[in-house]
Amino acid sequence: MRKISYYLLAIAVTVLALFACKQKLSSEVTGRAKSEVVVFNWGDYIDPSLIKQFEKEYGYHVVYETFDSNESMITKIRQGGTHYDVAVPSEYKVPEMAKANLLRPIDYSKIKGMQYIDKRFLDMPFDPKNKYSIPYFWGTLGIVYNSKQLGEGAIKRWADLWKPEYKDSILMIDGAREMLGIGLQRRGYSLNECNSEILDRVEGDLKGLMTNIKALLADEMKMYMIQGEAPIAVTFSGEAGVMLEENPDLRYVIPEEGTNIWVDNLVIPKSAKNIQGAHDFISFLMRPEVAAQNARYITYSTPNTAALKLLPKSITEDKNSYPDAEAIKRMEIYKNIGKKKTIEYNERFLEIKMH
């Protein structure tokens, strides 16, 4: 009986020790969650020195992870393996994420700097009253061409990309909405067209364009254009800005038929652990001096009106980076076309790439 009592006592001590260990680990994890801000962003989409500045000022440690597409970002957030505190989706993905209960409403009592955001980028159709999102950067999709190789003014329209003399000459952005959007706008249709008969015609057009496509690329496109390894590229305005800085022969064109005007946004995923840290990080990025420094590094257009006053006129008066009202009239924002049509777009894009 005594022996059994010793055994029971030993078991009780072990259980208590395990419980204490669990409590300690839980406390450490909770403490770590409060001191960390986990950010999920596009590659090279923030000035790294700003992360260090934020950590120094606020006492947080930033865990920074990157993604290469909206789809991969949403998939990882949905899986829930990592509890991201801040993410950066494009505008048309915000309603999709909200509908799927992947986003936490912004607590504006914890946000500083909303007065600096250009009202043109607030209360947009994809997120009325900015319940879930705050604008981060905006820009356009356009064409970069080498004026030395092709001549000044060689390209003005999306339709120019189909010219037979540009065979195996174009670096194309690797995106379904972007590529199908080019085909749609070339024919005068909306970027958000859902009529399958129209999409059939556009798919056929784009299959014909593949003869002129040298490669479908992402970030590496900058290097190839800077080095003159291709005369034409379809890319975003910020990427174009980097190319033009490094190679004076390059030109950026917003096509006459119109283009996409996009807005990338700061959101807080529903699974976030450090809610205060997320709001602090967003507020930090909205400070005029921080937003200006970030805009100089990223080379995309900032929606922060106070930051614009801190940027040189060579940037703010550049109509490729900050197009005028007349040019903006010809631009269209991507809308959420629904799951079924998104799948259709992706399937058509794969068919075009395989052609």
Mean pLDDT along residues 167-192 = 96
**Into which CATH architecture does domain 34-133+267-322 fall?**
3-Layer(aba) Sandwich (3.40)
Pair 192, 333: CB distance under 8 Å: no
pLDDT at 10 over 60: no
Q: Do the two domains 34-133+267-322 and 139-261+331-354 of this chain adopt the same fold?
A: yes
Q: For residue 68, what pLDDT band results from cuts at 50, 70 and 90?
A: confident
- Helix/strand/coil (H/E/C) assignment for every residue in the chain: CHHHHHHHHHHHHHHHHHHHHHHHHHHHHHHHHHHEEEEEEECCCCCHHHHHHHHHHHCCEEEEEEECCHHHHHHHHHHCCCCCCEECCEHHHHHHHHHCCCEECCCHHHCCCHHHECHHHCCCCCCHHHCCCEEEEEEEEEEEEEHHHHCCCCCCCHHHHHCHHHCCCEEEECCHHHHHHHHHHHCCCCCCCCCHHHHHHHHHHHHHHHHHEEEEECCCHHHHHHCCCCCEEEEEHHHHHHHHHHCCCEEEECCCCCEEEEEEEEEEECCCCCHHHHHHHHHHHHCHHHHHHHHHHHCCECCEHHHHCCCCHHHHCCCCCCCCHHHHCCEECCCCCHHHHHHHHHHHHHHHHHC
pLDDT band (50, 70, 90) for residue 33: low
Residue with tokens 């159709």: 125
Q: Note the pLDDT tens digit of each residue in 286-305.
A: 999 999 999 999 989 999 99
Query: pLDDT averaged over the chain?
Result: 91
Name which residue leads in pLDDT, 69 or 232: 232
What is the average pLDDT across 26-55? Answer: 82
Q: Span 239-248, mean pLDDT? A: 93
Given the candidates 3.40.50.880, 3.90.340.10, 3.40.190.10, 3.40.630.40, the CATH classification of the domain at 139-261+331-354 is: 3.40.190.10
Q: How confident is the model at residue 162 (pLDDT cuts 50, 70, 90)?
A: very high
List, in sequence order, every residue forming a beta bridge with 142; answer none if it has no partner. 235
pLDDT at 3 over 80: no
Share of the chain above pLDDT 90, in %: 81
pLDDT, average across residues 37-53: 96
Number of CB atoms found within 10 A of residue 33's CB:
16
pLDDT of the residue at 109: 98
Tokens in use for 3? Answer: 């022996």
Residue 26 has pLDDT above 60, yes or no: no
The domain ranges of the chain are 34-133+267-322, 139-261+331-354
Radius of gyration of the chain (CA): 24
CA distance 303 to 114: 11
Q: Residue 106, Cβ neighbours under 10 Å: how many?
A: 22
* Plot region of 133 (φ>0 → left; ψ -120 to 50 → alpha; else → beta): beta
Q: What are phi and psi of 322, to 5 degrees?
A: -130, 75
Averaged pLDDT, 77-89:
96
The closest alpha carbon to 235, from 217, 248, 210, 212, belongs to 217
Nearest one of 129, 130, 74 to 270, comparing CA atoms: 74
| Distance of alpha carbon 87 from alpha carbon 84, whole angstroms | 7
Residues 270/272/276/279 CA torsion (nearest 10 deg): -70
